[in-house]
Amino acid sequence: MDRKMTEQKTLCVLGIETSGDETAASIVLGETDGRAKILSNVVRSQIDEHKAFGGVVPEIAARAHIELLDKLIAQAMNEAGGGEAGLRFRELDGVAVTAGPGLIGGLMVGLMTAKAVCYASDFPLLGINHLEGHALTPGLTDNVLPPYLLLLVSGGHTQVQIVKQVGQYQRLGTTVDDALGEAFDKVAKLMGLDYPGGPQVAKWAQKGNDRRFDFPRPMQGRAEPNFSFSGLKTAVRQQAIKLAPLSDTDIADLCASFERAASEAVVDRVGRAMERYIEVMGADAPLRLVVAGGVAANLRLRGALAALADDRNFTLDVPPVELCTDNAAMIAWAGLEHLLRGASDPLDLPAKARWPLDETAAKIKGVKLC
């Protein structure tokens, strides 16, 4: 369905994101020609709250969202106004909020807050799939419109989807075990690196020899573009046990070799997904690859995917690093896209801990669909 043209030249949406361990609020201004402007984008990380536990504790995350969200919304409104008075709620056209997938306690905090604002101000509520926020980010940053091939790589998700249009997605492949970001974090933890682990692995990898260890590339050459990282993670653990106690050189070489193997595995799988994309969409489909999610910030992975895209004549689009990780601007933009199409949600909309982007995709045995 095309965007619903309105008499307004612009629409202004408040976005709220509380699905994980970032509390975020944003104001996005969108015009009916598809252009967008981020008026504010406030993100409060909870790294310090979870660091002692080596991972996200759902109860702590939900409590932090309760304590922070009202203040962050006020900050986003003030920054969006560009003056002392800030933006006023009556100047908004709707409220978009992550309704899933994610940690159910955090989702409920964000959703209840959004419902309260909508009820008090008679705004439309837009419950957004977190994965769709990532999927549509290129429209926010570069006015890139579907169709395109999406690689979503984060701590909880690794999948390839065809983004056919707003609200219409086809999953081509997903991870059958660990997500790529989860594998990075587990490798960091087994070597005693700081939390969050992914950036620490990348940092150590820059100092290491990526050919010292020949780790496996799971699923390489398979017909279906699914992913697997559990075996790779296990191989790193077994090698680390053999070398214990680990020297700094060992850690750097393990990280570098792991990062290389993971990147090459992803490239192989995405290469197959490119072939499937053309099979599904036809030879005239735009050859465009979008990479989104927190692991899209990894420079080695970006470089490997850039080389693949160049080899296959695909255009590569990767959002700025600050919009790869969880943020509310992408949620506001996804909400705005739905609002332009005349969509909204009832105030009894429930939070969904699991919510696949492609709800028609066949279930893979043993995999819990997000």
Contact (CB, 8 A) for 177 and 143 = no
225: preceding bond cis by omega (within 30 degrees): no
Q: Are residues 182 and 63 in the same domain?
A: no
Q: Are residues 215 and 314 in the same domain?
A: yes
Q: Is residue 211 part of a domain?
A: yes
Closest of 183, 181, 134 to residue 154, by C-alpha: 181
- If one counts the domains in the chain, the total is 2
Phi, psi of 351 (to 5 degrees): -80, 150
Q: Are residues 138 and 267 in the same domain?
A: no
Q: Is residue 290 part of a domain?
A: yes
CATH number of the domain within which 267 lies: 3.30.420.40
Closest of 195, 187, 182 to residue 48, by C-alpha: 195
User: Could you give the CA distance from residue 151 to residue 290 in angstroms, rounded to a whole number?
Assistant: 6
Q: Are residues 166 and 95 in the same domain?
A: no
Q: Is residue 244 part of a domain?
A: yes
Q: Are residues 204 and 263 in the same domain?
A: yes
Q: Are residues 124 and 165 in the same domain?
A: no
Q: Is residue 363 part of a domain?
A: no
Q: Are residues 329 and 313 in the same domain?
A: no
Range of the structural domain that residue 49 is part of: 10-144+323-340
Contact (CB, 8 A) for 140 and 36 = yes
Contact (CB, 8 A) for 177 and 158 = no
Q: Which H or E element spans position 103? A: none
Q: Are residues 181 and 88 in the same domain?
A: no
Structure tokens of 40? 């504010």
CA dihedral 196, 197, 202, 205 (to 10 degrees): 140
The answer on pLDDT for 266 being more than 60 is yes
Q: Is residue 140 part of a domain?
A: yes
Q: Are residues 181 and 156 in the same domain?
A: yes
pTM value is 0.92
Q: Are residues 183 and 302 in the same domain?
A: yes
DSSP, collapsed to helix, strand or coil, labels residue 324 as: helix
Q: Is residue 269 part of a domain?
A: yes
Q: Is residue 346 part of a domain?
A: no
The 10s digit of each residue's pLDDT in 192-240 is: 998 889 999 999 999 999 999 999 999 999 999 999 999 999 999 999 9
Q: Give the pLDDT confidence score for residue 6 in this predicted structure.
A: 45
Q: Which band of pLDDT confidence, cut at 50, 70 and 90, is reported for residue 5?
A: very low
Mean pLDDT of 317-333: 94
The 10s digit of each residue's pLDDT in 43-54 is: 998 878 887 777
What ranges in 98-245 are assigned the alpha helix state H?
104-121, 130-142, 180-190, 197-205, 230-243
Q: Are residues 172 and 124 in the same domain?
A: no
User: Could you give the CA distance from residue 315 to residue 23 in angstroms, rounded to a whole number?
Assistant: 32
User: Could you give the CA distance from residue 335 to residue 95 in angstroms, rounded to a whole number?
Assistant: 7
Q: Are residues 157 and 280 in the same domain?
A: yes
What ranges in 82-196 are assigned the alpha helix state H?
104-121, 130-142, 180-190
Contact (CB, 8 A) for 127 and 111 = yes
Tell me the C-alpha to C-alpha distance, in Å, between residue 315 and each of 165, 225, 282, 286, 309.
18, 20, 17, 9, 6
The 10s digit of each residue's pLDDT in 276-303 is: 999 999 989 999 999 999 899 899 999 9
